[in-house]
Structure 1
Amino acid sequence: MSVPPHVRPLLAASTLVVLEADARVDEGPHEQRFERFEEWIDAWYAALASGSSAEPILHAAAHAHRVAPVKPTRVLMEQAFSVLRWDLDFREFPTYADWKAYAAGSAGATMVWALCMQGEYGESGERIIREYGYMAQMVDCLADVSEDARDGRVYLPLEDLDRFGVRREDLEAGRWTPAMADLVAFELARITDPMPAVLEMARAHPWMYPFCSALDDYIRHLCTAVSEAGSSLMRRVAVPPTGPMVRGGLGLWRSAHATSL
């Protein structure tokens, strides 16, 4: 809803390439996930080379890339896919810098890839979108912390757990502790503190601004959901309320529709 109507099919098709790859990493028998994932990536590059595919998503995405104002590079696509391979062979993140390298591909590269469908964004535009990628990935890690811990995975930087004295056994047992409350508050501040400055930078890119505004609104609602979850964060995934998300989406849709007339 945050992009003009003629862009939406292109953005949806390109995004679905990554979403389907992600689904193959997360779903189905574990012993088949790597093979199914690599099959999809190979099929995507074949569709990209030929311009068509018998698979509807890949066919639509190949068309989207053919007409995109900015051609996504192979390096950018590989950055997005490399993070999914990381999830197949999961390794934890000793430092925030290690986590940020993961987030650069997980959310950052995927968002930049989607942005290619709309127009030239430049170096500063890419920096803005990657900043939103870091924010979105961190709040997602916080929202899903209990679900990930039950699967034996800790996505938060280990140095942050050590800094606040959060014990792995408490995470895996779903115990809410004062240390965990302090860690969540710290990570939320790490997200929300730079948000006004990043959104202000986006104003210099008028066609990007609605897209960034949508990201900003979504991330803020999810941060609020994480903050308000409190101890229940250790039992369930934090989800923002539907009403504000729908109202925000409709406002963006009206704006994009009016601009295209």
Structure 2
Amino acid sequence: MGRVRALTTLDSAYAGSRAINAHHGRTYYLATRLLPPSRRPAVHALYGFARVADEIVDNPGVDPAGELLALERALNDAFDGGATGHPVLLALADTVRHWDIDRDLFSVFLNSMRMDLTVTDYANLDELAEYTHGSAGVIGLMLLPVLGTVSPDAAPYAAALGEAFQLTNFLRDVGEDLDRGRVYLPADHLAAFGVDRERLTWARMNGPDRAIRRAVAHFAAMAHAGYRAAEPGIALLDPVSRPCVATAARLYRAILDEIAAAGYDVLTRRAVVPAGRKASVVVPGVARCVLARLRGTQ
């Protein structure tokens, strides 16, 4: 009876993580549906944990640093087999054990989350790279054991794709991040176009000028370059996982297309990929997914 109850609790924990993913990460969740069913819960658990940490820093309470520390301690207890009352951590600990994910990656991720509590600007790409590696690159590395690989060379590509996703998020969310007091786009690149925080703040209320639009276009080009650099890594994944990752990359690149279509205005509007465009990306992905699974059974 105890084992049945434990399984029910674990199933509920995974279901909760899935609900978080479906609600907060719709593009990501849509691509995840192309994975074999046995692999999806692990992705939901990883996403759910990242979202819990992200909420602490994006919507801080009285003591966000203390909350992050408590989360890390609870996570380590869960990893060591201790009891946890947090369903996301229960699902995550099970995922880490089942897929043999490197626990150290979670410390790197949480260190980046702590940066959000104190760092409000990045002087250059090198400074930003530390943050994007911890907040996004390591997510790609966490996912690799779940996705499966056919080559040990997949890791750098997985990290690069996560970082391209993150730069896309930075561009889509410039206005919202500015409202939180943060500017992720590196100051030296912005300055090359005559843009600084003061100019961005003015444009948040009045709309972007030509200089800001040019700067955003520059960063969009950098994001596209990131996707191109990461693309060879998709072929290094387990064939049944390739349609999921390829579709996720196309969906995120579509966000960049919407930003371009809006004249690179990321300060008074938030780029959203229309449902029809998403369907045009996902449907071919479904076909590739079915074909990959059929080949896997032969």
TM-score normalized by the length of structure 2: 0.78
Residues 81-102 of structure 1 show CA distances to partners (whole Å, capped at 9, x for unaligned) of 1111111122421111211221
Q: Is the 8 A contact 1:164 1:182 kept in 2?
A: yes
Q: Is the 8 A contact 2:193 2:215 kept in 1?
A: yes
Alpha carbons of structure 1 residues 88 and 206: separation in structure 2 relative to 1, 3 Å: same
CA–CA distance in structure 1, aligned partners of residues 126 and 42 of structure 2: 33
Alpha carbons of structure 1 residues 126 and 141: separation in structure 2 relative to 1, 3 Å: same
Match of 2:174 in 1: 145
Sequence identity (%): 25
Match of 1:73 in 2: 102
- 1:209 maps onto 2:238 in alignment: no
177, 180, 184: which one pairs with 2:212? 180
For residue 22 of structure 1, report the CA deviation from its aligned partner.
1.2
**More moved, 108-117 vs 151-160:** 108-117
79, 100, 110: which one pairs with 1:48? 79
SS at match of 1:172: helix
Alpha carbons of structure 1 residues 253 and 40: separation in structure 2 relative to 1, 3 Å: farther
**More moved, 95-104 vs 230-239:** 230-239
Structure 1 vs Structure 2 CA RMSD? 2.3
For residue 206 of structure 1, report the CA deviation from its aligned partner.
4.3
SS at match of 1:53: coil
**More moved, 165-174 vs 240-249:** 240-249
For residue 128 of structure 1, report the CA deviation from its aligned partner.
1.0
SS at match of 2:153: helix
241, 249, 258: which one pairs with 2:274? 241
Flag structure 2 segments of 5+ consecutive residues without an equivalent: 1-32
Alpha carbons of structure 1 residues 139 and 173: separation in structure 2 relative to 1, 3 Å: same
Match of 1:100 in 2: 129
CA–CA distance in structure 2, aligned partners of residues 257 and 20 of structure 1: 33
Where do residues 53-202 of structure 1 align in structure 2 (5 Å cutoff)?
Answer: 53-68=84-99, 71-120=100-149, 123-174=152-203, 175-202=207-234
Letter in 2 for 1:252: G
SS at match of 1:54: coil
SS at match of 1:236: coil
21, 36, 48: which one pairs with 2:53? 21
Alpha carbons of structure 1 residues 49 and 194: separation in structure 2 relative to 1, 3 Å: closer
CA–CA distance in structure 1, aligned partners of residues 217 and 125 of structure 2: 16
Letter in 2 for 1:216: A
Letter in 2 for 1:236: R
Residues 21-78 of structure 1 show CA distances to partners (whole Å, capped at 9, x for unaligned) of 111222252x23222222222111111111653322222222222211xx22232111
- 1:34 maps onto 2:65 in alignment: yes
CA–CA distance in structure 1, aligned partners of residues 148 and 167 of structure 2: 27
For residue 127 of structure 1, report the CA deviation from its aligned partner.
1.0
CA–CA distance in structure 2, aligned partners of residues 122 and 27 of structure 1: 40
- 1:222 maps onto 2:261 in alignment: no
For residue 223 of structure 1, report the CA deviation from its aligned partner.
0.5
**More moved, 94-103 vs 120-129:** 120-129
CA–CA distance in structure 2, aligned partners of residues 153 and 196 of structure 1: 28
For residue 250 of structure 1, report the CA deviation from its aligned partner.
4.8
Letter in 1 for 2:231: L
Flag structure 1 segments of 5+ consecutive residues without an equivalent: none
Q: Is the 8 A contact 1:166 1:180 kept in 2?
A: yes
**More moved, 41-50 vs 90-99:** 90-99
Aligned length: 258
Residues 174-223 of structure 1 show CA distances to partners (whole Å, capped at 9, x for unaligned) of 24121111111111111213534532342243435223302321221110
Q: Is the 8 A contact 1:2 1:256 kept in 2?
A: yes
Q: Is the 8 A contact 1:108 1:130 kept in 2?
A: yes
